[in-house]
């Protein structure tokens, strides 16, 4: 069966002035697909079998290509936005006709030049389209263990839940809101630590290392901010957690551990109106 959006092994049936026609070798269907002249491999003859990708041309006709396409239906690829229109965006996927990304399939506001992770699907009108909604496409059962560090790309952010991530552009993961301590956006490549492998095989990530690893960097961050503020900051262990998260991009617990360590080391004092750097003697 000839399938749109996939590679098909088809037989050369006949040549024309503008290309050749391909069809299934043993099929009751006499449907044929045009392979344009510029795409024909050298020394091709009638009866040869070619591996071609099937898509639609600008006039919505089935057409074949021998070019390398980054993905097939159901697959994932990083593509660049080439144009923005009221009904959607267009993506470069190496073919003469750009790939359409409908507005309803976008998970963020896009600009020309953005590089985004998308999947390929066939819509109700039998057209090839892209989608940024990848939750159902990504795989579970990732071959990682808890506390491993992984790399992924943010493909969707849902305010009440967190950020959804494609780890290695393949596996399903999420960063819950309580683990988000810095501004992120769709398309960002992140490094995260696996804090849970869920029963369904999907991953839960944190953008932070374990507390005993992170502590030194948190302390350095606070000291750097004290230096920039002439040695005084109006925050302490009673400050609202949301203010700490907004100002330092760490949790209230991490902040308290860090200033506690700095206090014990004699680097700061903790007072009613904030923390102060202890001058070097």
Of the pLDDT bands very low, low, confident and very high (cuts 50, 70, 90), residue 96 is: confident
Residue 166 has pLDDT above 80, yes or no: yes
Who has greater pLDDT, 29 or 266?
266
Q: Which fold has domain 211-277?
A: Arc Repressor Mutant, subunit A (1.10.10)
Of the pLDDT bands very low, low, confident and very high (cuts 50, 70, 90), residue 223 is: confident
Distance of CA 146 to the CA centre of its chain: 21
User: Sign of dihedral through CA atoms 119, 136, 147, 265?
Assistant: positive
Alpha-carbon distance of 204 to 174, in angstroms, equals 5
Instruction: Tell me what pLDDT residue 280 has.
Output: 65
Domain 149-206 - what CATH class?
mainly beta
Residue 215 has pLDDT above 70, yes or no: no
pLDDT tens for 247-261 read: 888 888 889 988 888
Q: Where in the chain is the domain with CATH 2.40.50.140?
A: 7-65, 76-131, 149-206
Tell me the average pLDDT across 48-68.
93
If one looks up domain 76-131 in CATH, what number appears? 2.40.50.140
CA distances from 60 to 3, 9, 77, 187, 217 (A): 15, 22, 23, 30, 56
Record the pTM. 0.71
CA dihedral in degrees (146, 167, 104, 8; nearest 10)?
Answer: -130
Tell me the average pLDDT across 211-238.
81
Tell me the average pLDDT across 66-73.
95
Instruction: Tell me what pLDDT residue 164 has.
Output: 94
Residue 233 has pLDDT above 80, yes or no: yes
Who has greater pLDDT, 259 or 102?
102
If one looks up domain 7-65 in CATH, what number appears? 2.40.50.140
pLDDT tens for 175-200 read: 998 888 778 899 999 988 899 999 88
Residue 57 has pLDDT above 90, yes or no: no
Pairing of strands 88-92, 115-122: unpaired
Helix (H) or strand (E) holding 171: strand 171-176
Using CB atoms within 10 A of its CB, is residue 58 exposed (0-12), middle (13-18) or buried (19+)?
exposed
**Mapping DSSP to helix (H, G, I), strand (E, B) and coil, where does residue 214 land?**
helix
Instruction: Tell me what pLDDT residue 212 has.
Output: 43
Residue 37 has pLDDT above 80, yes or no: yes
Instruction: Tell me what pLDDT residue 165 has.
Output: 95
């Amino acid at each position: 069966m000839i399938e749109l959006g996939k590679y098909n092994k088809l037989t050369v049936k006949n040549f024309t002035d503008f290309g050749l026609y391909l069809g299934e070798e043993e099929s009751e269907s006499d449907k044929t697909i045009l392979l344009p002249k510029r795409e024909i491999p050298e020394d091709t003859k009638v009866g040869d079998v070619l591996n071609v990708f099937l898509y639609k041309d600008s006039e919505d006709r089935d057409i074949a290509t021998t070019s390398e396409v980054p993905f097939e239906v159901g697959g994932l690829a990083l593509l660049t936005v080439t144009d923005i229109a009221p009904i959607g965006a267009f993506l470069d996927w190496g073919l003469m006709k750009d790939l359409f990304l409908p507005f309803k399939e976008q998970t963020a506001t896009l600009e020309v030049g953005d590089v985004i992770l998308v999947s390929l699907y066939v819509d109700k009108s039998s057209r090839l389209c892209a989608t940024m909604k990848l939750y159902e496409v990504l795989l579970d059962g990732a071959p990682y263990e808890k506390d491993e560090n992984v790399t992924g790309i943010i493909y969707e952010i849902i305010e009440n839940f967190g950020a959804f991530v494609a780890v290695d552009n393949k596996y399903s993961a999420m960063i819950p809101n309580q683990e988000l301590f810095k501004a992120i956006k769709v398309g960002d490549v992140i490094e995260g630590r696996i804090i849970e492998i869920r029963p369904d095989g999907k991953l839960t990530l944190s953008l932070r290392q374990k507390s005993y690893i992170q502590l030194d960097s948190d302390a350095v961050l606070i000291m750097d901010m004290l230096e920039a503020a002439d040695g005084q900051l109006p925050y302490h262990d009673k400050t609202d957690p949301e203010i700490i998260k907004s100002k330092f991009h760490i949790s209230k617990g991490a902040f308290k551990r860090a200033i506690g360590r700095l206090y014990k080391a004699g680097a700061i004092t903790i007072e009613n109106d904030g923390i102060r750097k202890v001058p070097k003697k």
